[in-house]
Amino acid sequence: MDLLKVKSYDEAIFEIVKAFEKLNLKKTINLNILDAKDYILAEDIFSNENLPHFKKSTMDGYAINYLDSNGANESIPSVLNIKETISMGKKPLKSLNRGETSQIFTGGMLPEGADAVIPIEYTEKMNDNLVLVYKPMHYLENVIDIGDDSKKGDLYFKRGKRIDSKTISALASLGISKVNVYDKLKAIIISTGDEIIDIDKKLEDAKMRDINSYMLFSLLNDLNVEVIYRKHIVDDYEKIKQEIENNYDLVIVSGSSSKGEKDYIPLIGKELKPGLLFHGISIKPGKPTSLSINDKTMILGLPGNPVSCYAIFVSVFKKAWYKYFNIEDSFKIKAKLSRNIASNGGKTLVQLVDLYYKDDELIANPIFGFSNNISNVSKAKGFFILEENSEGLFEDEYVKVELI
C-alpha cells in the first residue's frame, strides 16, 4: 500500500493528542458524585480538614488514661470509676481525671483526659460506678488520632483520575458531593463498505456483517464517550462527507481508509481545514488508519477489518485519549511468552494474547489466525506491543500485557 503521510506508532498517538488539543475538547461540568462514575476528574482533590476530626475509638469498651492500666492483669486488675456512657455521634459530657473511665462504642469520641480504649472483653463491670480492667494498654491503643486518616491539604486525586467506586467512596469521606469532571465527548460512528449489511440481515453473497459499528459503540462507551448515532453508509463520497460536517467532536469511520478505489475518508480529510494529518500507521494490524480534523471535529478513519479496527482503537486511539485527559496509563501485567514472536520488519506489532497460569506461572499465549476473525478478540485477555525496532521475542521471555 502506498499510503501518504505514514506515521510510526508513537507519532500516530502524538498526532491524535495534538489534534485533541487543537480542537480543545475539554469542557468542565459539575456532577453529583453518584452520577460521576467513569467520568474524568477535571480538578485536583484535596482533603479540606483533618480526618477524623476527633479522637475516635476503634472498639466497644472503656476510654481510659493508658497509665491507669499499667501493670493490670487477670489477678490484679485496675479499678476505675465510671463517669458516663458516651453516646454515638455526641461529644462526651464529662472529662476524665486519673482513675476515671467512660464507656464508649466503636466510632465514639474519646473524652478529654483519655488516650486509649480497653476492649470490653478485658473488663468486668462491678456496678454502675466501677469497672475492673484486666490488661495494660499502650498510648493511643484502639484509638484513631485526629488527622490519622487524612490531614488538611492531603492530595487525594489528581486531575485526570477516572472515577470508580473507590474514588466515589473517598470523595464521600471528604464531604465532597459534587465534582468537576470533563463532559462526555460526542461521537458518531459510520461504517462504510458496499459489502456491509446490518447484523439482522441474512448473510448471503459476499456480504459481511456490520461488526464494527457495534464494536465501536461499546468501545466508545467504555471510554464514556457518548455515541449520538451509528450508521452504515454505502461507499458514497457525498453522503460520508455530509455526516462529517455535523460538527460532533468525533467521527469514527470504519472502512474506506485504505488506498483502494473507494477509500474516501483520506480524500475527504484533504478537503477539510486543517485537513488530513496522517494516512497510515506503521503498525500491524491496522496500517490503513487515517486522521483528519476540521475546526470542530476529529475524523478517525479505522480499518474495515474488525480485528484491525479493534487493535487500533485500544492500542492507538485509547492511548491518545488517555494522554489528552492525563489519565494514568493502564496497569500492565508481566507474563511469560508461550512461543517465539518474529520481528515485524520495522513495524510496531499489536499482539493479542490469552493469559493463563501454568505451573503457577502466568503465561501469555499469542493468538494468531486470520485477522478478521473477531472470535480471536473475544478469546484474548489482553495485548502487548512489540516495538517497531524489536528483533522479535523468544519463548519464555517476558512481556507486559495490557488487559482488555
Per CB under 8 A, contacts with a copy of itself among 4-63 are 33-34, 37, 49, 52-54, 56, 58, 60
Is 203 near a copy of itself (CB under 8 A)? yes
Is 127 near a copy of itself (CB under 8 A)? no
Rounded least distance, CB 217 to a copy of itself, Å: 6
Is 211 near a copy of itself (CB under 8 A)? yes
x/- map, 154-193, a copy of itself, by CB under 8 A: x-xx------xxxxxxxxxx-xxx---------------x
Is 306 near a copy of itself (CB under 8 A)? yes
- Which residue, 86 or 312, has its beta carbon nearer to a copy of itself? 86
89-101 residues labelled b (16+ CB within 10 A) or e (exposed):
eeebeeebeeebb
Count of C-beta atoms within a 10 Å radius of residue 400 = 13
Stretch that binds a copy of itself, among 19-27, 73-81, 87-95, 384-392 (CB under 8 A): 87-95
Taking alpha carbons only, the member of 386, 387, 385, 380 closest to residue 404 is 380
Rounded least distance, CB 339 to a copy of itself, Å: 21
d(CA 336, CA 362): 6
3-state secondary structure 15-64: HHHHHHHHHCCCCEEEEEHHHCCCCEECCCEECCCCECCCCEECCCEEEE
* Grid cell listed for 24: 480543545
- Which residue, 175 or 274, has its beta carbon nearer to a copy of itself? 175
Q: Are 301 and 4 in contact (CB under 8 A)?
A: no
Is 228 near a copy of itself (CB under 8 A)? no
Residues 231-270 close enough to bind a copy of itself by CB under 8 A: 258, 260, 262
Is 99 near a copy of itself (CB under 8 A)? no
- In the DSSP assignment, the letter for residue 202 is -
Pick from 65, 77, 78, 108 the residue near a copy of itself by CB under 8 A.
Answer: 108
Residues 330-349 close enough to bind a copy of itself by CB under 8 A: 331, 333-334
Rounded least distance, CB 203 to a copy of itself, Å: 6
Pick from 24, 74, 127, 206 the residue near a copy of itself by CB under 8 A.
Answer: 206
d(CA 85, CA 378): 60
- Which residue, 128 or 200, has its beta carbon nearer to a copy of itself? 200
Taking alpha carbons only, the member of 76, 238, 54 closest to residue 149 is 54
Amino acid at 170: A
* Grid cell listed for 349: 506489532
Tracing cell 487543537 back to the chain, one arrives at: 22
Rounded least distance, CB 170 to a copy of itself, Å: 4
Pick from 128, 329, 359, 360 the residue near a copy of itself by CB under 8 A.
Answer: 360
Is 113 near a copy of itself (CB under 8 A)? no
- In the DSSP assignment, the letter for residue 150 is B
Q: Are 145 and 110 in contact (CB under 8 A)?
A: no
Is 359 near a copy of itself (CB under 8 A)? no
- Which residue, 19 or 401, has its beta carbon nearer to a copy of itself? 401
- Which residue, 24 or 378, has its beta carbon nearer to a copy of itself? 378
Angle between helical axes of 264-271 and 237-244 (0-180°, round to 10): 50
Size of the site for a copy of itself (CB under 8 A): 93
How many residues would you count in the chain?
A: 404
Question: Do β-strands 28-32 and 78-85 pair in parallel, antiparallel, or remain unpaired?
Answer: unpaired
Rounded least distance, CB 317 to a copy of itself, Å: 13
Is 210 near a copy of itself (CB under 8 A)? yes
Q: Are 366 and 355 in contact (CB under 8 A)?
A: no
Rounded least distance, CB 274 to a copy of itself, Å: 29
d(CA 119, CA 300): 63
x/- map, 264-283, a copy of itself, by CB under 8 A: --------------------
Rounded least distance, CB 68 to a copy of itself, Å: 22
- In the DSSP assignment, the letter for residue 111 is P
Taking alpha carbons only, the member of 220, 296, 212 closest to residue 256 is 212
Pick from 128, 200, 238, 329 the residue near a copy of itself by CB under 8 A.
Answer: 200
